[in-house]
Amino acid sequence: MIVEALAVGPLQVNCYIAACEKTRKAAVIDPGDEGERILKAVEEAGLQLEMIINTHGHFDHIGGNRLLAERTGAPLLIHEKDLPLLRRAADHAALYGLPAVPSPEPSRTLEDGEKLPLGEMELEVIHVPGHSPGGICLLAEGHLFSGDALFAASIGRTDLPGGDHDTLIDGIRRRLLVLPDETVVHPGHGPDTTIGREKAVNPFL
């Protein structure tokens, strides 16, 4: 499995390119900004973009949706419960004094437990609400793309519209901490970690 991370935009969101090493089929996860840079990285790696996935609909994670979707024709995917956030992302960005490129509508919505084929591998959708109603994580071959649910030594904020602290903690405990300790966690912001490390040192857990 190929995993490449690019920190993009003013809030330094981690955009991930995840790809099947054999078939070179790829997914872009959370193209928050700098769509041209993301597209260039995909092309330079010789990858074929199969899908664009938003772990949630906050403005800092979706700014590159339009450019990537229009340039490549790849389908845009997000959980149904975050559609309101996706549609109002520009309004939310304005509250921070930041511009935002409105996202196109998704090609379809995702469901918990769904497995997205990507070459010879699969991305499993894990619904972990609490940071946002439709927040998801993606699991593939020992790699967890955790969006803004779980960070190194931290968790996602829950004071934004649709957030709920108890729901997030419950989801992390029931859905993520049960994964093998060696599972590598690629969060929406900040450095990578592992499930085992977070079980041992994360003060919120």
Cβ burial 122-153 (10 Å sphere, 16+ → b, else e)? bbebbbbbbbbbbbbbbbbeebbbbbbbbbbe
Q: Taking the model in full, what pTM does it have?
A: 0.97
Cβ proximity of 143 and 176 under 8 Å: no
- Asked whether residue 78 carries a pLDDT value surpassing 90, the answer given is yes
- Asked whether residue 10 carries a pLDDT value surpassing 90, the answer given is yes
pLDDT tens-place string over residues 167-198: 999 999 999 999 999 999 999 999 999 999 99
> What CATH number did the domain enclosing 140 receive?
3.60.15.10
Q: How confident is the model at residue 95 (pLDDT cuts 50, 70, 90)?
A: confident
- The whole domain housing 109 covers 2-201
Q: What is the layout of strands, in order, in the sheet containing 13-19?
A: 2-8, 13-19, 25-29, 48-53, 76-79, 108-110
Q: For the chain, how many structural domains are there in total?
A: 1
d(CA 41, CA 51): 15
Measuring CA to CA, how many Å separate 195 from each of 10, 42, 150, 201? 28, 28, 10, 10
Q: How confident is the model at residue 114 (pLDDT cuts 50, 70, 90)?
A: very high
Given this model, what pLDDT does residue 99 score?
84
- Asked whether residue 100 carries a pLDDT value surpassing 90, the answer given is no
Tokens representing 181 are 């300790």
pLDDT tens-place string over residues 20-58: 999 999 999 999 999 999 999 999 999 999 999 999 999
